[in-house]
Amino acid sequence: MRNRYSRILFLSILILSFFSCQDKPSENKKVVSEKLNLQNKEKPNVIFIIADDLNCDIGAYGNSIIQTPHIDELSRHGVLFENAHNQYPLCGPSRASFMTGMYTDQTKMTRNNMYIRNSIPDVITIGQRFRQQGYQSIRIGKIFHYDNPSAIGTSGADDPHTWDQTVNPYGRDKKEEYKINTLSPRKYGGTLSWLSAEGKDEEYTDGIVASEAVRYLDEFSKTGESFFLAVGFYRPHTPFVAPQKYFELYDRSSISIPKSNDDYLKSIPEPAAKSIRAKKNQINLEEELAKEIKEAYYASISFIDAQIGRILNKLKESGLHENTIVIFTSDHGYHLGEHGHWQKQTLFENSTRVPLIISVPGGRNAPARSNSPVELIDLYPTIMDLTEIEIPNHVVGKSLEPIIKNQSVKVRKNALTRWRNGYSIKTERYRLTQWGKNGIIGYELYDHQSDREELTNLASQSAYKVIFDSLKTVLKDRIANAQLKPNGLGRQYENINELQKAPNITYGDLYDSQGKRIYLKPTDE
């Protein structure tokens, strides 16, 4: 018996000795980790900068009044897309669309304040794909939707599966909200509101966004980790709040407000007319008031430009610019009195067109521009191609990498945007908009060669019948393809409800136990 136990003990020792001679699991993991880090270091990082409600009133896009030196400088080292368009001119749907690379008929999201996982729970977002490839995926500020400004300081309707880390800045603009001028008392996000403010850039929410981005870049320059850094600014979305020095950049008398005649409404389909007369208290503003508001919008853009400059300066100072792709864009365009309308939610160029600049490591000696129609959903496959990451099957956007390499290349013949029951395509020259299924409510056709302001509807003019009929066929096909469920998407649910919201509370106001406001904090406190 004793010999038997001795043999068992001896065999056990032999087995243990054998495994101890093999590579230890922890050492194996270390080797794999080191290889993964080495692979990631060979791939570029990405900074994805999103402005909120920014149109193409930027110096690089030809606006001679606006002062945006840092965005202009970025354009000189990258490719500027002259003809880029969003897929739904409303914050939440647009952001869900470009973060997934799909149209809103596929995300099933056409309203704000909706969680993306409620409609497409299995989707792989841009940031999530980077996480799968060993990158640090970080959100600072607003990337997915949440109400601006009422949800500042929170995560709103964000998607936590997209990020490794998140930052929700909260600045002086939010704390001193009661000082803001507004057309509707104590309402700031959905109506025109503005303030020339006191204090330093770093005190304000977007200043904090930039400071946090700078902090992360400093950290990554030391750790060498690969990163996808999504930087979401809150301006120039209403309220147009910026430190006073940015207002001082502008001479209000040099700012003009477009004139609009209501007779024009008779020449366009009813849904189009309603879209530019939806904001009743913003129609026919007194000219001096309109100039004051537009000046505030411009000041907000210059404020954002300065914060972008801080980030780009840190990128260069840290040396990370040698291996970092920079993308700058907005979620949709913005009307500033054009067609008699302010803000977004139309299918006119002012609302569909967005700025888009892509700068790849190495830069350029001269600015590069493309007039190829492109869509925001094209960003997903573009970013994947530029970082050599396999694109998920559900992504239906087209990579812009060929255009980045050669600006004479076209990847699309037109760009598609939807708004409620309307669809619109923009080619290099024309815009065709259809309202209702198969155009039952009407069409709009604009020729940008002679009418960049889109004020003359040519849909019923015989001289344009061939163009009109041709574009109708194209638009019909585009709509049909945009409504197909993408391969590999997984579950897809329709008719998802928006989040139920409580009324906005401005800091300093007081309410009774029933939620009725009983005290408004004075603006001079």
Task: Give residues with Cβ within 8 angstroms of 377, minimum separation 6.
Answer: 87, 97, 98, 100, 101, 102, 103, 395, 396, 397
Task: Give residues with Cβ within 8 angstroms of 274, minimum separation 6.
Answer: none
Query: Does the pLDDT value for residue 36 go beyond 90?
Result: no
pLDDT computed for residue 310 by the predictor: 98
In sequence order, the β-bridge partners of residue 182 are 193
Q: Which of 200, 249, 329 is nearest to 68 (CA)?
A: 249
CA–CA separation, 26 and 32 (whole Å): 10
Q: What is the pTM of this model?
A: 0.92
Query: Does the pLDDT value for residue 297 go beyond 80?
Result: yes
Query: Does the pLDDT value for residue 4 go beyond 60?
Result: no
pLDDT band at 500 (very low <50, low <70, confident <90, very high): confident
34-45 burial, b at 16+ Cβ within 10 Å, e below that, comes to: eeeeeebeebbb
DSSP three-state, residue 25: helix
**Rounded-to-10 torsion of CA 91, 93, 99, 105:** -160
C-alpha distances in Å from residue 238, one per residue of 77, 149, 179, 188, 360: 30, 8, 14, 6, 31
Residues 381, 100: contact at Cβ < 8 Å? no
CA–CA separation, 189 and 90 (whole Å): 13
Structure tokens that stand for 239 in this block: 């309220």
Residues 231, 49: contact at Cβ < 8 Å? yes
Residues 358, 78: contact at Cβ < 8 Å? yes
Instruction: Please identify which residue in the block is written with the tokens 């880390």.
Output: 165
Which of 50-59, 338-347, 361-370 is least confident?
Answer: 361-370
Query: Does the pLDDT value for residue 41 go beyond 60?
Result: no
Mean pLDDT to the nearest integer, 315-333: 97
pLDDT band at 181 (very low <50, low <70, confident <90, very high): very high
pLDDT band at 364 (very low <50, low <70, confident <90, very high): low
DSSP for 435-484, please give it.
ESGGGTTEEEEEETTT-TT--S--TT-GGGHHHHHHHHHHHHHHHHHHTS
Residues 180, 188: contact at Cβ < 8 Å? yes
Average pLDDT, the chain: 92
Task: Give residues with Cβ within 8 angstroms of 19, minimum separation 6.
Answer: none
Query: Does the pLDDT value for residue 246 go beyond 70?
Result: yes
DSSP for 99-162, please give it.
HHT--HHHHT--SSS--HHHH-TT---HHHHHHHTT-EEEEEE-SS---TTTTTTS-TT--GGG
Query: Does the pLDDT value for residue 14 go beyond 80?
Result: no
Per-residue H/E/C for 178-246: HHCEECCCCCCCCCCEEEEECCCHHHCHHHHHHHHHHHHHHHHHHHCCCEEEEEEEEEECCCEEEEHHH
What's phi and psi for 426, nearest 5 deg? -120, 120
Q: Which of 157, 179, 178, 175 is nearest to 166 (CA)?
A: 157
Query: Does the pLDDT value for residue 334 go beyond 80?
Result: yes
Residues 113, 65: contact at Cβ < 8 Å? no
pLDDT band at 463 (very low <50, low <70, confident <90, very high): very high
Structure tokens that stand for 194 in this block: 């503005």
DSSP three-state, residue 408: coil
pLDDT band at 8 (very low <50, low <70, confident <90, very high): very low
Q: Which of 125, 111, 80, 32 is nearest to 394 (CA)?
A: 125
Query: Does the pLDDT value for residue 261 go beyond 90?
Result: no
* 124 φ/ψ sector (left φ>0, alpha ψ -120 to 50, else beta): beta
Per-residue H/E/C for 270-327: HHHHHHCCCCHHHCCCCHHHHHHHHHHHHHHHHHHHHHHHHHHHHHHHHCHHHHEEEE
Mean pLDDT to the nearest integer, 316-333: 97
DSSP three-state, residue 28: helix
Q: What's the burial of 1, exposed, middle or buried (CB within 10 Å: 0-12/13-18/19+)?
A: exposed
pLDDT computed for residue 48 by the predictor: 99
Pairwise pLDDT comparison (40 vs 108), residue with the higher score: 108
Which class in CATH covers the domain with range 41-519? alpha beta
pLDDT band at 19 (very low <50, low <70, confident <90, very high): very low
What's phi and psi for 211, nearest 5 deg? -60, -40
Mean pLDDT to the nearest integer, 333-340: 97
Task: Provide the residue type at 276 as one letter.
Answer: I
Query: Does the pLDDT value for residue 10 go beyond 90?
Result: no
Instruction: Please identify which residue in the block is written with the tokens 């430009």.
Output: 305
Structure tokens that stand for 491 in this block: 């579950």
CA–CA separation, 132 and 124 (whole Å): 10
Which of 18-32, 191-205, 337-351 is least confident?
Answer: 18-32
Query: Does the pLDDT value for residue 144 go beyond 90?
Result: yes
Q: Which of 96, 80, 64 is nearest to 354 (CA)?
A: 80
- Total residues found in the chain within this entry: 525
pLDDT computed for residue 362 by the predictor: 81
Alpha-carbon dihedral sign for residues 177, 178, 182, 185:
positive
Pairwise pLDDT comparison (162 vs 37), residue with the higher score: 162
